[in-house]
Amino acid sequence: MKNKRILSWIMTMGIVIAGMEVCAGCKKGEVIVPDSTRFDVDFNAMDTYMTLTAYGKNAESGLEKAKTRIQEVEGIFSVTDENSDIYKINHRETEQIAISDEVMNVLGEALTISERTSGNFDISIYPVLREWGFTTGEYQVPEESVLQELLQKVDYTKISVDSDEKTVTLADGMEVDFGAIAKGYSGDMAVAALKEAEVTSALLNLGGNIQALGEKPDGSSWNVAIKDPVFTSEYMGVLSVKDKAVITSGGYERYFEDRDGNTWSHIIDPSTGYSADSGTMSITIVGTSGMEADALSTAMYVSGIEKASEYWKTYGGFDMVIITKEEEVYVTEGIKEDFTLMGNYKDKQVHIIEK
């Protein structure tokens, strides 16, 4: 009995002493969470499945805040939710519509990328996207004449923003869709929420859009794998990143097959009204802004490798991994040391795109 009490006393002392050592200088009552303590949340949002992982202090509460923020962004940018800001733009009763700073910010980025790609990226592609059935899942190959008619309404130059008045004006019949950019933006907002909660290490998977906050708890980089665009349950390479968004667009992601066996993807070339077919199977963007990386992945996929390389040389600030239809791999020089081939691509040569 006595021995037991002594043992429990020693154990208590041991814990207290250990605690005091770790807690030297910290506030009274503060709970010490080892850096490696991991929390996860997963949920459906923005038409996809998301898994958020964070480590260390405030990880659990930070993740809840990040999740809430993503749901908020979803509520703002949804095309179908009648209460969303975008729904209000598309179902406008007046020519000029008041918009929030948040919508203004994302719209501004979208229009910049539209200008820089001469309209290969165009959020007013929505009427065409709907005709193909990509908004409902009731797929069809539209008549050429119908596409031509709808393309009359697709023109980002007819979207004008008044940043002083905080309004947007669209030409008659135009509709917009932020499907190529809002998810990336929500990743930025989730990271901001985590940072605000003083979380320093997290990896967010927003339906394949990866957003890394800081580094792994052991101080090493995160390893982010890129899908093999043919055998999509396998991976073709891995990127080592810290504090970056890694976002891929590919024709294999969402598509349908018509009666003749042709496949049609949900990324539309606004110059034709048909699925983009510029010679690439997938383009991955690595950058510091999730919003920009998301928009660019779509924009560069439509543009193709030549124009994407030109864009990168002109504007920079991001890196790319491009897989062509011939299964050739191109990587911009900024990440050449951080990229490793794997799987079916293991023995291939990586072509470096240089400035």
User: Under the rule (CB under 6 A), what is the footprint of ligand ADP?
Assistant: 121-123, 125, 129, 134, 177, 179-180, 249, 253-254, 266-268, 270, 294, 297-298, 302
Say if residues 122 and 135 touch (Cβ distance below 8 Å). Answer: no
From Mg ion, ligand ADP, none, interface partner of 77 (C-beta below 5 to 8 A by class): none
**Crossing angle (nearest 10°) for helices 305-315 and 290-303:** 140
From ligand ADP, Mg ion, none, interface partner of 267 (C-beta below 5 to 8 A by class): ligand ADP
Q: Which is nearer to Mg ion, 200 or 282 (CB)?
A: 282
Amino acid at 187: G
Say if residues 201 and 35 touch (Cβ distance below 8 Å). Answer: yes
For residues 140 and 37, give the distance between their C-alpha atoms in angstroms, rounded to a whole number: 49
From ligand ADP, Mg ion, none, interface partner of 121 (C-beta below 5 to 8 A by class): ligand ADP
- Rg from Cα positions in the chain: 24
Say if residues 278 and 294 touch (Cβ distance below 8 Å). Answer: no
Q: Which is nearer to Mg ion, 294 or 338 (CB)?
A: 294
Tell me the closest approach of the beta carbon of residue 86 to Mg ion, in angstroms: 16
β-strand 96-98 against 167-170: which pairing, if any?
A: antiparallel
- With b for 16 or more beta-carbon neighbours within 10 A and e for fewer, the 327-349 pattern comes to eebbbbebbeebbebeeebeeee
3-class DSSP state of 63: helix
Is residue 122 a contact residue for Mg ion (CB under 5 A)? no
Tell me the closest approach of the beta carbon of residue 253 to ligand ADP, in angstroms: 4
Tell me the closest approach of the beta carbon of residue 150 to Mg ion, in angstroms: 21
Which residues, 158 to 197, sit near Mg ion by CB under 5 A?
180
Tell me the closest approach of the beta carbon of residue 250 to ligand ADP, in angstroms: 8
DSSP 8-state assignment for residue 30: P
Q: Which is nearer to ligand ADP, 64 or 253 (CB)?
A: 253
Q: Which is nearer to ligand ADP, 121 or 185 (CB)?
A: 121
Who contacts 232 (Cβ-Cβ below 8 Å, separation ≥6)?
252
From ligand ADP, Mg ion, none, interface partner of 179 (C-beta below 5 to 8 A by class): ligand ADP
C-alpha 84 chain-centroid distance: 20
Which residues, 277 to 306, sit near Mg ion by CB under 5 A?
294, 297-298
Q: Which is nearer to ligand ADP, 57 or 244 (CB)?
A: 244
Q: Tell me the residue nearest to Mg ion as measured from the CB.
A: 298
C-alpha 166 chain-centroid distance: 26
Q: Tell me the residue nearest to ligand ADP as measured from the CB.
A: 179
Q: Which is nearer to ligand ADP, 65 or 254 (CB)?
A: 254
Q: Which is nearer to ligand ADP, 253 or 277 (CB)?
A: 253
Say if residues 52 and 63 touch (Cβ distance below 8 Å). Answer: yes
Which residues of the chain form contacts with Mg ion (CB under 5 A)? 180, 294, 297-298
